[in-house]
């Protein structure tokens, strides 16, 4: 998430109290509860078969993100103790049995997030300079977004947000500088706007989606250098621009910062950008291990949860961090120029 990696470790150790948001805006960035009403145009998506894609209609016109229905199934979540790069929060390995669900085919794009902001007047934590208590002094005071500041410099950038992460973006690139609070607000709005049960994915659902039937360190196998076919990570271009960072792969993925969603090969589930580009927020509370994690793939929760789990990887991740089992647990208000979101949707299916 935050850069460099030593800075990330310090940020993850800090805490911030979760503020849960709900789906109707007053226009000044505050969100108020409102009953979700069924949208008749979306009735057909209530029962879908695995592999099928759909878009739910928005009440105001247009469509929501493209969704892919994933089959239910069982998989081994986490990483074995002998996997290179493994961290303690990736275990113990456990079997998880998931129901079918739908997941965004791509991360939510800048264009899709723009529509949400235009409809609600929502302001992100970066735009509000939401504080993150207990920040290590060496990281400075949280302001704006932890973003690119030019040259080889990253840090808290005044005015940095999804609108300006420090590098140019197109509307077809993933929205970044988003906190868990921001991601929840978008999912809640999407539920209201479509009348469908949208939410953030759970950490188990995301690992299931990333693995797509694999059990190797990477979805395609054990060779990190094959990544440039599948995603935008810390490649030869990033190594050259940021020589002080931990060295990434030597292949060339064709992008320095974020890239247009869907640019690389899809995985076995038909999902794009599950490796690289942006890591995404999940519903789970960021706990230290899987000792008490639910076996049905539902979110891991804790009273007074102060951190939440990011899954996937981003454009600046080296090989140890774009493994399928990798996860991070920043504060709910944490945000950087590689944090985004992907939505999940509950669906009815005969293929659970």
Structure confidence by residue, pLDDT tens digits, 27-51: 334 333 333 343 444 545 445 688 8
The pLDDT confidence band at residue 23, using thresholds 50, 70 and 90, is very low
Closest CA to 299 of 105, 107, 96: 96
Residue whose pair of structure tokens reads 């293929």 in the numeric block: 351
Please give the share of the chain, as a percent, with pLDDT higher than 70. 85
Contact 192, 36 (CB under 8 A): yes
Q: Does domain 5-16+55-345 have CATH number 3.90.1580.10?
A: yes
Q: What is the pLDDT of residues 229-275, one digit of tens each?
A: 999 999 999 999 999 999 999 999 999 999 999 999 999 999 999 99
Q: What is the pLDDT of residues 305-349, one digit of tens each?
A: 999 999 999 999 999 999 999 999 999 999 999 999 999 999 975
Q: Quick check: 110 pLDDT over 90?
A: yes
Q: What is the mean pLDDT of the chain?
A: 88
Cα 302–Cα 338–Cα 218 angle in degrees, nearest 5: 80
Residue 302: per-residue pLDDT: 87
Altogether, the residues listed in the chain come to a count of 352
* Residues contacting residue 120 through CB under 8 Å, at least 6 positions apart: 24, 25, 27, 31, 185, 189
Residue whose pair of structure tokens reads 């250098």 in the numeric block: 225
What integer is the mean pLDDT of 94-111? 97
Cis peptide bond upstream of 216, omega within 30: no
b/e code 332-346 from CB counts within 10 Å (16+ = b): bbbbbbbbbbbbbbe
Residue 134: per-residue pLDDT: 66
Closest CA to 280 of 23, 103, 52: 103
Domain boundaries, the chain: 5-16+55-345
Residue 47: per-residue pLDDT: 53
Using a CB cutoff of 8 Å and minimum separation of 24, what contacts does 50-57 make? 50/100, 50/349, 50/351, 51/269, 51/270, 53/105, 53/270, 54/102, 56/194, 56/196, 56/345, 57/194
The tokens of 158 are what?
Answer: 């005044």
Q: What is the pLDDT of residues 117-148, one digit of tens each?
A: 999 999 999 999 999 876 777 878 899 999 99
Residue 140: per-residue pLDDT: 83
The tokens of 186 are what?
Answer: 């978008």
The tokens of 172 are what?
Answer: 């077809």
> Which strand (E) or helix (H) includes residue 156?
strand 154-157
Residue whose pair of structure tokens reads 């990736």 in the numeric block: 90
Q: What is the pLDDT of residues 71-97, one digit of tens each?
A: 999 999 999 999 999 999 999 999 999
Q: Quick check: 53 pLDDT over 80?
A: yes
Count the neighbouring beta carbons within 10 Å of the beta carbon of residue 150: 9
The pLDDT confidence band at residue 12, using thresholds 50, 70 and 90, is very low
């Amino acid at each position: 998430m935050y850069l460099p990696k030593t800075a990330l470790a310090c940020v993850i150790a800090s805490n911030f109290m979760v503020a849960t948001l709900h789906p109707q805006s007053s226009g000044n960035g505050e969100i108020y509860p409102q009953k979700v009403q069924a949208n008749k145009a979306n009735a057909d998506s209530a029962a879908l078969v695995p592999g099928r894609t759909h878009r739910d209609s928005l009440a105001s016109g247009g469509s929501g993100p493209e969704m892919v229905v994933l089959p239910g199934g069982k998989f081994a979540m986490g990483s074995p103790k002998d996997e290179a790069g493994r961290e303690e929060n990736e275990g113990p390995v456990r079997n998880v049995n998931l129901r079918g669900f739908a997941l965004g085919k791509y991360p939510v794009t800048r264009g899709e997030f723009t529509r949400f902001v235009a409809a609600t007047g929502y302001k992100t934590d970066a735009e509000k300079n939401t504080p993150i208590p207990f920040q290590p002094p060496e990281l400075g005071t949280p302001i704006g977004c932890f973003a690119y500041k030019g040259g080889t410099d990253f840090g808290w950038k005044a005015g940095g947000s999804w609108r300006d992460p420090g590098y140019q973006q197109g509307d077809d690139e993933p929205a970044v500088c988003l906190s868990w609070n921001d991601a929840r607000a978008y999912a809640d709005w999407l539920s209201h706007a479509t009348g469908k049960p949208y939410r953030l994915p759970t950490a188990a659902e995301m690992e299931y989606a990333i693995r797509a039937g694999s059990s190797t360190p990477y979805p395609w196998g054990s060779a990190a250098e094959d990544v440039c076919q599948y995603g935008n990570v810390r490649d030869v271009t990033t190594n050259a621009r940021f020589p002080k960072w931990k060295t990434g792969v030597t292949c060339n993925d064709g992008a320095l910062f974020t890239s247009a969603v869907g640019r690389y090969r899809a995985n076995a589930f038909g999902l794009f950008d599950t490796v690289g580009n942006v890591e995404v927020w999940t519903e789970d509370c960021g706990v230290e291990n899987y000792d008490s994690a639910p076996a049905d793939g539902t979110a891991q929760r804790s009273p007074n949860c102060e951190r939440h789990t990011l899954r996937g990887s981003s454009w600046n991740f080296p090989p140890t961090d774009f493994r399928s089992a990798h996860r991070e647990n920043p504060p709910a208000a944490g945000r950087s120029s590689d944090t985004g979101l992907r939505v999940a949707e509950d669906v009815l299916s005969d293929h659970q």
